Structure formats: structure tokens, C-alpha cells
Chain A
């Protein structure tokens, strides 16, 4: 018989803080339902990304594709420490967030495959996941461009006085973008309820953090904005840290967090990921720090969940993802009219979208008339 109720567990790695007088606890209280939820969501993300890899290699995914495997604990831990009332905006590595904010694996894969059933009707692709009803402001294709948007969203929270905050995520590569510093400055001046989340996966595309950043302690890079470094491979560390971050953002103002993590895949699918690091390094992280494995060990070690139950979850998730792959492959492409839909709204009746029309002669024609 498994134990029930709440169990207190020890976290693995201490936090490092910058200009902070307090820090999150080194223990976390969890229930069986919570652990099951975290594990199954992380494992779904993992299987989804692996299937995206396969779909890409089989040429079903034709666009750019950036995978999140290795970093799942950040998304799931943050969701566990925040609510959907809190806004999230991230970079192009966005599949997992779409899933955690309520979309389905089929929905995410449809967008990757350019199908009508995707959140952007297939017009965006991998980098363009959005979920308005859950305050997920999406993936952004330009490195760092989401940083000032996150500040604007935070201002809206402050303006509304809703007690929620804005989480703006970026990678260690984007940490060197100028607009991040512009946004940090604005956020500090306006005391915005804003958390800048640096997902430090050690490589900005093919350049390691040591070679790209004069100061690779990203949690200190806010200068006048306090920061904290947290183990990004442990879902419970991320959860506890996120609760702390949200409280600080809402009550005090902006804060930077660096989640120490690792991506197993290359930067994108066109990057094999082994030219600037070796296979041993990836294997070592997988063996010692894998976030899905860490969540599984919490399940087993606390005796809240059995191995057999984990196996059952794995089986269900694999079946769900396999079905989603088939559903996405079979899904219809967007209607042709989508080409000119959602460029402008509220046009006069005379307005038409201009473009070449090969059915007539050369020149200027309306593509939608």
C-alpha cells in the first residue's frame, strides 16, 4: 500500500542569490497527485519532442524546429508554482509551453506540420505557439524580441491590479541581446510584476556560455535587478523558486532567475549538436541530471507512486503521442484563403490583398477576389 497525503522532500542543489535577502526553501511538500501530474506532463513533453524529431527527419516537419527535451522541469515546475492568470512569453523553443498551457499533443504537432488544426492554423510552425485563453503570449522567432513584450504585459498586470505577474523567458544566447537590458531598465523604473527567466542550457546556438558571455552568471546580469540561480533540472526546485519569484515580482518588482539546464538536441534540427560539444557530455547529463528521471525518482523514493504505475503512465503517454502523430499527419492543410486572412482587420469593402495572380497576366491583382 502506497503512502498518501503530503510528503516533504529535500531539494538537491542550493540556490545562489544576487541582491536578495531571502531565498526559496530547500525542501518541498508534495502529494501523490502532484508528483503524478508533474511526471506525466514531463514525460508527454519528452515523447512529443522525440516524435517531432522523427517527423522532422521523415520530412513531415518542413520548417525550423527547436526542441525542448532536457529542459522539461522548467516549464512544468513553473506551471506548478504559478497560475494561468500569470502570463508567459517565450522564445522559439515553445512546444512544451503550448502543451502545459492546455493545448494537445495533436494541436502542437499540427502546427509543426503546417496543418489547419494548429494554433496558428499552420501558418506559423514550430516557433509560433500561442494560447490566448491561458495567457500564453507565444513563441517568438527573433532572439530576445519577447523581452520588452514581457515588460508591456507586466505593465498590463500592474495596471489591472490583478495580483498576477508576467514571465518572460529567454536563453543564455538571448541574454546578450541589447533589448533585454532596455526591458530590464524599464521594468525596474516602473516596478513591474515581471520575472525574467533565463533558461541557461549552456549553448547559444553553437557557442558555449563561456565564449558568448563576459559574465555567465546570468542571474546577476540585471545589475540593479535582484536575481537567483536555481537548479533547472529539478521540477520541485523550479516550483519552489517560481512561487518565490512570483511573490517578489508582485510585491516588490522585477527579478531575474537563471534556471541551470541542458538541451539534449542541437539548437535546431539542422544542428546535430555535437560539433561544439561531445556526445559524452550529453550522455553524462542524461545519466546524472535528467529532469524526467529526477521526477520519476521523487515518485519512487517518496513511495507515493509505484514503478508499475509509472510504467502504466509511460504506456499511456506513448500511445497518446503515437495517436497524435497519426492524427497530425492525417489532418488537412489550411484553406487557401488563410493566405490573406488575419493580415489586417476591419478593412473597407473595397480593400483587397494585392499580389501576383498567375491565372491572369502579370501585374497587380487581388489574391482574395
Chain B
């Protein structure tokens, strides 16, 4: 029956009449169409900007964070967030409220109160200790900070932790590790997934069968116990950078399987498409077909799948670090920050320990998911939904 299935219009919806096609759409390539379709997805578009913003924050963390994320300050143990004010006595003077600390003799806890008498003036582009932006640009300026730095002029936008470290600075610095783990992990997944999925889809037959069974098997193992087992195997004494890469490797261990399936599926369905057969008959080599016809055809799908894989990896790193078998201090990641929130008593005294890193995670994952969803919807601009 395949011989004639395209003959009549699909019943029901009227076939679009040969509408006059605009000249610019007529010469629009796949990425132009992709962008046109993606743009219609408002939430995804907004998410794209949020994601870009987050990665910018991560890249320029040293500049944005006002304080050294590892600098302790015993005076401000569990200091609460300090709100920003813009005016003092009617004149423009950006500041945060000062804090006065008293020691509660009964509970032996420090209690903080807003001290309206001693506002801490803040400003943009304040001088700081020298550091290297992006690791190589020497800088002595921070985006913002106290105008008169001193041990008592604390700018804790999101509060401080058990050692008086600034949560805001720590979350900003944590973005570096947490967001990059997603990227590096996705890159590893991409290599594994495309190579293995490509082999599976291109050769087919027994090779395909073995690889598919292996993938099915990997996916049937609950991830957390597997990750826990693998992560726990990392020796405690390893240098942070090595741990970082092994953890990335572990979280991408599962991620590549969905990508491999996607690539394989596309390979299988495209391999027998008429336009691929036509290219073969035109005298194109197999490698030429893969590079010039197959890869461009599923590139957009891969980008969408990769985007959707990043949040899974961020969540995985967070979970492992939280359990204490992932990244360890002094590395700062959002998962490591949440370790501080493990103790529910600490959380009830300083809820910002939990909510600040949690909000960062949720915003990052949410926007990446929306973005990925939008990309996936736009991935095949030739599929008509009208």
C-alpha cells in the first residue's frame, strides 16, 4: 500500500492551499527556520537569556562576588541577610543595614539585630585585593562591595554560614563548578553517545543488538546506588581537580545512553530516507553522507537533547555532594553548600543556608529545562503542525 499513500490529502484537515510563500522564507536555511520556530516559544526564549546570564555570572564569579568565598569571620557566624537600602536621610546613599550582635546567654547563640545607626555604605566597582579574572586578567576591582571595608562592615546579601562566610559569594562561586559540571559532563556524553549511538545505528545487526542491550541494562540500574558506589570509590586524598573530573565522568555515565539512543534512532530512520539513497546514487561516499546529510539532519535534535541533559547532571552532582561522597570542601559547588544544610537545626537557625543554594539550583535547572523543551520543539522545523 505504500505505493500510493501520498496520493490524496490526509482526510480531515484541508491541505494548505499553495499559499504564496514569501521570498525570505523560501531562501531560509534550517537554522533560520529553527530560530523562527524557537522564537515563538516565549518561555524558552526568556530561559535562554536566564541561562546565558547564569553562565556569565559563573564566568565572572570573581568579579561579582564581593567577598572571598572562603574568608571566615567569627563575628558574623550565621549572620542573617542584610537588605539593601538606597537612601539615608533622604539623600541617595546605597547601603546595607548594619548588624549588631548579642550573645544570648540562655541558648548560647549569637543573635543579630538590624542596627539603623550604623549602615554600611556600598558602591559599585570598589577596590579589592588583587585577583585574576578568568584566571589571567589581573584585577583589583569588584562589581560592588563596602566602600570602607573593615571587619565590622559586613555585606551579607544572603547571610553568612557557620564560619561567617558570605553565602552570596559562595553561591556565585559555586555556579562555576555546578554549571560547568553540566557542560563538561554533557561534552563527555556527547562524545560517548554520538560514537556509540552512531556505531549502533550505522552498522546495525549484531553490533546494534549488543549495544542496545547494554544500554537497556545500564538504564535499568537505579542511578543513585550506582553513583554512590562509584563516587564512594574516589579516594579521600585525591586532589580536588581530579575528584571533579571523576565525578563528572560518573554523572555522564548514564547521560550518554539517551543521547546514543537518539542518535541511533535518527541514523536508522534517516539511513533509508530517499534523499540519503539519492546521495548514495549521486556517488557520495558513506562518510560524506554521514557528514553532509545525516549529521546536519539530527544536529538540532542533539543540541536539544544535550541541553536537557545538563540539568540532570547538575542535579546528580548536587545529590552526590550533598551526601558527602561527591565533591568535598574546599571545592565550592551548590551541592557542597547544601551539605551545610544537612543539619535541620542549623537550617532552622539560618534558613538561608538551605534556600539560597536551593533557589540557585531550581532557577538553573528550570531555565535549562524550559530552554531544552523549546529547542526540542523547534528541532524539526520541517515538520508541519499547522
Q: Do A and B bind each other?
A: no
